[in-house]
Chain A
Amino acid sequence: MSLEPEYLEYPLRRQGMDHDYYGYASLFDRPPIAWPSGKSVAVAIVVNLEWFPILPADKPFRAPGHMVTPYPDYRHYTSREYGTRVGFYRMLDAFAKSGAKVSVAANSAIGERYPQIIADIVDAGHEIIAHSTDMNGAIATGLAEDEEHALITASLDALETASGARPRGWMSIARSQSFNTARLLAEAGVSYMCDWVNDELPYRFTTAAGDLINIPVNHELSDRQIITVQQNSADSWVQQMQDAHAFLTAEAKIFGGRMLPINVTPYIMGLPYRMGAFERLLGWLAAQPDTAFHTTGEIADALAPA
């Protein structure tokens, strides 16, 4: 038994990364970044607002949170809808109470199906970023380039129609991309994406169609990861966000602006028994002297031009 000789050949074993999307840069070796508020810690809340068709397409994969049982899966279809009808409105009220401006990563199907929600988001001054078409709109290698292009364009067009402004930002379903995604986003005029989780500040990402910015919306801090995957309680999640905030606040005193990304999901965090913990965190963050809520658009703008 032996492996093909190529398995012990390393054509990209060179200084730097094994691709050309971005160069290596330590977080601790960059010019300090300043947020528009002048505060040292930017809390970037990203809410995923999603519509799951009761018929999952599984092309190229089934999104997290999608249908589970044999058809018709009333259980998951309606539980996800609960987040949109009820949980999300609890969140909007909580954001208003704490003065938080947030980014809503919305499936464009939300705009087509429930234009009132988009109007309520816009009226409250939140940002809308494109989160594909619906939860069948997943991207991965295997999706044909023209289909991926059509999906990105359809999402941006529909959200522009619903909200009156073309989204500047993009978040893929499950942060999953093909090798073409960043280039197609740049071609479509998207200025930043939220998929790569390798950093804690915005950085420039290179494609054949020009640069765009990547804002790392850390999946490790999300309600999906900590509450749904790791099965920690909402109170523990709040404690973890507070521990992260304390650490970043101390680090910001030495290295300049820091970002705490908080990615939440209405059908997870918007439940009655969790909502109080989330409100407690928002109130606590609003009271921290070195802290401001910023949208991902504001975060992207804070990165100095190349």
Chain B
Amino acid sequence: MREGEKDPSLYDFRPYRGRPKLNWPDGKQVAVWVSPNIEFYELDPPANPHRKSWTKPHPDVVGYSHRDYGNRVGHWRMAEVMTKHGFPGSVSLSVAMCQHLPQIVEDANARGWEFFSHGIYNTRYSYGMDEAQERALIEDSIKTVRDATGQTIKGWLAPALTHTPRTLDLIAEYGLSYTCDLYHDDQPGEVHVKQGRLISMPYSLEVNDHYGFFVYNMSPREYADTLIRQYQRLADEGGTVMCIPLHAYLIGQPHRIGPFEEVLKHIAADGRAWITRSGDIADHYMREVTA
């Protein structure tokens, strides 16, 4: 990005109207990827001068234990319904999960899920890092996931969505191919970086379960209906990407998982969805579309 300028110059302006058709494999209309955020929040993390981790004095018992519910309870429920209906996960991973709870990482890996980095912990933020520190974070992410799963990460979702002006250039330099941190489009597109090639992968804040439940205050059934409407529209338009970003501590709750399963059933039965992983979408796009 162009640091300090009004326009960060992240990408070119390309209006939605008049674009060449983006074709997905087997004539599918919409690439659907489900993105569980598998996160570890620390009980007593050090302070970052630019952002508080917990809103309350440590220990923030409800804040911490609510997240921990995702790992003890929610993940297993969410993973089961995804597998049952044929949806692989593309995991936004707090990579310290590989040390803390390897059983969850191994479970996701065994299900054929992809991993990309979501930082070390969701309580350690990139704000204020110098270049060497940010390189250490990226190198740690690549090595930790490779050692634990054999996978080489292709993507990045900044820890707790905290960035520096150099993040995108650095992840491209390290060979990553996509970022999930930009929300300007329903299709992948080129991101301006100093070297290498980086694309933006449509993620979503709007249909993120966190937004659904705690920004828009939806009931579980209203959230399920929202996902179906989002899917129908993007499938009708074609050449699009739909991401369903999830947190096991939210969607894995007993009052939410049932309505959510209906969404997966609906999409799987519709027939227009390329049900896939973010890295596969990125690979396909980079082959089909010249930078």
Interface residues of A (CB under 8 A from B): 1-4, 6-8, 10, 12-19, 24-28, 60-61, 140-142, 172, 174-179, 195-200, 216, 218-221, 226, 229-232, 236, 239-241, 243-248, 260
Contact = CB atoms under 8 A, between A and B. Distances in A.
B86 to A, nearest CB: 20
22 contacts: A1-B128, A3-B128, A3-B129, A6-B46, A7-B124, A7-B133, A17-B100, A24-B71, A24-B72, A24-B100, A24-B101, A142-B57, A172-B61, A178-B57, A196-B65, A197-B69, A198-B65, A198-B68, A198-B69, A232-B217, A243-B256, A244-B254
Contact of B57 (A140, A218, A246): A140
Given A1-B130, A243-B255, A26 B42 contact: no
Given A195-B65, A220-B66, A248-B254, 9 more contacts: A2-B133, A7-B48, A8-B137, A14-B99, A16-B100, A26-B76, A177-B59, A221-B255, A243-B256
Rank and list the top 8 A-B pairs by shortest CB-CB distance, nearest first: A2-B130, A244-B254, A198-B68, A198-B65, A244-B255, A141-B57, A240-B255, A230-B217
B100 A13 contact: yes
B253 A220 contact: yes
Contact of A240 (B46, B99, B133, B220): B220
- Interface hub of A232, A240, A260 (most chain B Cβ within 10 A): A240
A195 to B, nearest CB: 5
A228 B106 CA distance: 39
A172 B49 CA distance: 30
A258 to B, nearest CB: 8
Contacts, number: 150
Contact of A239 (B61, B76, B129, B219): B219
B62 A174 contact: yes
Interface string B24-48: 0000000000000000101110101
A141 to B, nearest CB: 4
B263 to A, nearest CB: 14
A230 B43 contact: no
Contacts of A142: 57
B258 interface: yes
A141 B102 contact: no
B220 A15 contact: no
B259 interface: yes
A15 B254 contact: no
B255 A241 contact: yes
Give the interface size bracket for B toward A.
Answer: 35 or more
B39 to A, nearest CB: 13
B43 A19 contact: yes
B73 interface: yes
Given A7-B48, A18-B100, A197 B65 contact: yes
Interface string B96-127: 10011111000000000000000011001000
Given A12-B42, A18-B42, A24-B72, A246 B258 contact: yes
Contacts of B217: 229-232
Contacts of B46: 4, 6-7
B220 A26 contact: no
B61 A196 contact: yes
Contacts of B130: 1-3
Contacts of A236: 219
Contacts of B136: 8
Nearest to A261: B254
A239 B221 contact: yes
B42 to A, nearest CB: 5
A10 B255 contact: no
B58 A141 contact: yes
B11 interface: no
Contact of A25 (B56, B62, B72, B124): B72
A219 B67 CA distance: 13
- Interface hub of A197, A216, A226 (most chain B Cβ within 10 A): A197
A33 B73 CA distance: 15
Interface string B129-163: 11011001100000000000000000000000000
B257 interface: yes
B211 interface: no
A200 B66 contact: no
Given A142-B57, A176-B62, A244 B253 contact: yes
Contacts of A4: 46
B108 to A, nearest CB: 13
Contacts of A195: 61-62, 65
B56 A219 contact: no
Interface in B49-64: 49, 56-59, 61-62, 64
Nearest to B96: A13
A24 B104 CA distance: 11
Given A61-B56, A141-B59, A221-B255, A199 B69 contact: yes
A200 B254 contact: yes
